[in-house]
Amino acid sequence: MDRDYALLLPAVVSKLFPDTATREHATRILSSYGRESFHVEVDRVRLGILKLSGADLSAIEIWTKLACDDFRDLLVEAEYRLSFGKDRLRESDPEMYEALKKTEREQYDAWIAAVLAV
């Protein structure tokens, strides 16, 4: 699945929050990330927040705060849970490492597909 985060983010937000008031509340929380000059890849990080939180507004607040402190921690949890910290595996068993990365991509794509299918 092609990940055009700028296109995916509003579609995922709309699906997770069909109610306008709740969608606006979620969007306000998410907008906390992206206000600082060191907040990069804003759409990608916000989508990662939603991947970890689903439609739970309290969880969105928690993950958004983490992202505001260090977006890399958020991306590790959202995108690289299996392969992060496996540098030795990358050297000793590159096929296994690539299999982990492939599984991560597939899991992320499956999540996006499931949310958008609702």
What is the domain extent for residue 55? Answer: 5-117
The whole-number pLDDT of residue 88 equals 87
Closest CA to 28 of 8, 44, 7, 49: 49
The whole-number pLDDT of residue 87 equals 82
DSSP string, 16-51: H--SHHHHHHHHHHHTTTTSSTT--SHHHHHHHHHH
The whole-number pLDDT of residue 2 equals 63
Q: List, for the chain, all residue ranges whose pLDDT scores fall below the cut of 50.
A: none
Instruction: Provide the domain count of the chain.
Output: 1
The whole-number pLDDT of residue 47 equals 98
